[in-house]
Amino acid sequence: MGLDQYVTLGRSGLRVSPLALGAMTFGEDPGAAGTSVEESEKILARYLDAGGNFIDTANFYTNGHSEKILGDFFTASPGRREHLVVASKFFGNMYPGDPNGGGAGRGSIVAQLDQSLRRLQTDYLDLYWLHNWDRNTPIEETMRTLDDLVRAGKIRYVGFSNTPAWVTAQAQTTALLKGWTPLIALQVEYSLLARTVEGELAPLALDQGMALTPYSPLRHGFLSGKYRRGADVTDSARAAFVGGPSEAEFVVIDEVTAVADELGTSPAAVSLAWLRARKGTVVPIVGARRVEHLESNLAALDVQLTDEQFGRLDEVSAPTLNYPAPLHGRTRAMLQFAGTTVDGETSTVYPPLLQSDVRY
């Protein structure tokens, strides 16, 4: 399988590669753990030459330099941009002292979009993400503004990132009831080492036909293969900020490594293949600071996990979800089905119901 084996992104007509290229690392601005313009362009060219078409960035990645690098690349390759799916995000405030410089209010969204379009040297975005929940702005103001921008032709599709499920559901319901542009995808942290999204957001996405585009699918590089018990990692930009894996994380890493050895591939490829095999449409966002990092990630497209391997990875990485998720498994079936089998799910009998003739 290759990057040119496209998938439809949620309930939309937008076709994207099975792996998106994340441009968060593009640029070496102060304070940003990024890569040079030259290396960024090599990574971008390799992804595109392999058939990739889905590029993800944000207004404040490397202080706007990420968008600028992409814009310069498109300008140097006339006619290429219109065949790509370019996504960026709004929310981050790049103007200290200005309370309206970021967030999700009408004026700030319009201003942030204009600035992103200028840096990207394009007149529209294929997908525009809310980067984080703005609890100071009514969600209907945000959704109406995004719909206006779609109608104006400045953006084409809308998605949310890092936003609670109840807010996302409210936004989607409001949009559908009012005939505004609905959400087609959610960008969430999701990996074998970060699965709490499965409590609320992933089921919401599946129910509403939204795609999931996981960021940090290798969890700070912990699942890349470079982290082994007793080994020092010296080439990870993230390690300086987040430290190394915990013992619980190493248990998962060990199993991922074992599966990778069985398949003759890398832990990174196994981790991405596991994500892509989840229910619904899941398009992981892969980032890279060097071309070889991208090559390692692309190997995931050729990995096919067996049911047994998938089950092992599922079991060892099973998350502890918040209430009320723990009540939605066995307890729910026991209370609801009373010892019968429904839709292939067999339940036991709730302890008090020991006699079939009990009536109150």
One-letter-per-residue 3-state SS of 61-105: HHHHHHHHHHHHHHHHCCCCHHHCEEEEEECCCCCCCCCCCCCCC
pLDDT at 205 (0 to 100): 98
The pLDDT confidence band at residue 355, using thresholds 50, 70 and 90, is low
Q: Which pairing describes strands 85-90 and 15-16: parallel, antiparallel, or unpaired?
A: unpaired
Q: Which of 194, 216, 212 is nearest to 282 (CA)?
A: 212
pLDDT at 228 (0 to 100): 81
Residues with Cβ within 8 Å of 175's Cβ and at least 6 positions away in sequence, in order, are 143, 147, 181, 182, 183
The pLDDT confidence band at residue 340, using thresholds 50, 70 and 90, is confident
The pLDDT confidence band at residue 351, using thresholds 50, 70 and 90, is low
Asked if the model's pLDDT at residue 118 lies above 80, the reply is yes
Residues 182-194: tens digit of each pLDDT:
999 999 999 999 9
360 is catalytic: no
Rg, the chain, Cα only: 22
Residues 42-80: tens digit of each pLDDT:
999 999 999 999 999 999 999 999 999 999 999 999 999
- The overall average pLDDT reported for the chain is 92
Rounded Cα gap, residues 56 and 9, in angstroms: 14
The pLDDT confidence band at residue 347, using thresholds 50, 70 and 90, is confident
Percent of the chain with pLDDT over 70: 91
pLDDT at 357 (0 to 100): 57
The enclosing H or E element of 120 equals helix 106-120
Residues 123-135: tens digit of each pLDDT:
999 999 999 999 9
Candidates 47, 61, 190, 215; catalytic one: 61
pLDDT at 300 (0 to 100): 96
Count, residues in the chain = 360
pLDDT at 238 (0 to 100): 55
Residue type, 244: G
CA dihedral 79, 82, 85, 86 (to 10 degrees): 80
Sign for the CA dihedral angle at 325, 330, 333, 335 comes to: negative
Residues with Cβ within 8 Å of 350's Cβ and at least 6 positions away in sequence, in order, are 334, 335, 338
Residues 143-172: tens digit of each pLDDT:
999 999 999 999 999 999 999 999 999 999
Burial pattern 313-345, b for ≥16 Cβ within 10 A else e, equals: beebbeeebeeeeeeeeeeebbeebeeeeeeee
Residues 254-281: tens digit of each pLDDT:
999 999 999 999 999 999 999 999 999 9
Provide the terminal-to-terminal Cα distance of the chain, rounded to the nearest Å.
61
Structural domains of the chain ordered from first start? 7-320 (3.20.20.100), 329-360 (no CATH)
Sign for the CA dihedral angle at 87, 93, 98, 104 comes to: positive
pLDDT at 343 (0 to 100): 86
* pLDDT average, residue stretch 315-320: 96
Residue 282 DSSP symbol: B
Residues 232-250: tens digit of each pLDDT:
665 555 555 567 899 999 9
CA distances from 288 to 42, 56, 81, 295, 333 (A): 11, 12, 21, 9, 44
Asked if the model's pLDDT at residue 353 lies above 60, the reply is no
Residue type, 327: L
Rounded Cα gap, residues 153 and 118, in angstroms: 15
Residues 25-49: tens digit of each pLDDT:
999 876 666 899 999 999 999 999 9
Asked if the model's pLDDT at residue 356 lies above 60, the reply is no
pLDDT at 34 (0 to 100): 83
Q: Which of 153, 103, 107 is nearest to 130 (CA)?
A: 103
Looking at per-residue pLDDT, the higher value among 227 and 95 belongs to: 95
For 188, other C-beta atoms within 10 Å of its C-beta total 20
Rounded Cα gap, residues 251 and 142, in angstroms: 42
Residues with Cβ within 8 Å of 146's Cβ and at least 6 positions away in sequence, in order, are 109, 128, 130, 155, 158, 180, 181
Q: Which of 80, 90, 149 is nearest to 119 (CA)?
A: 90
Rounded Cα gap, residues 204 and 186, in angstroms: 10
pTM equals 0.93
Asked if the model's pLDDT at residue 282 lies above 80, the reply is yes
**CB contact at 8 A, 192 and 271:** yes
* pLDDT average, residue stretch 191-217: 98
pLDDT at 240 (0 to 100): 53
pLDDT at 184 (0 to 100): 98
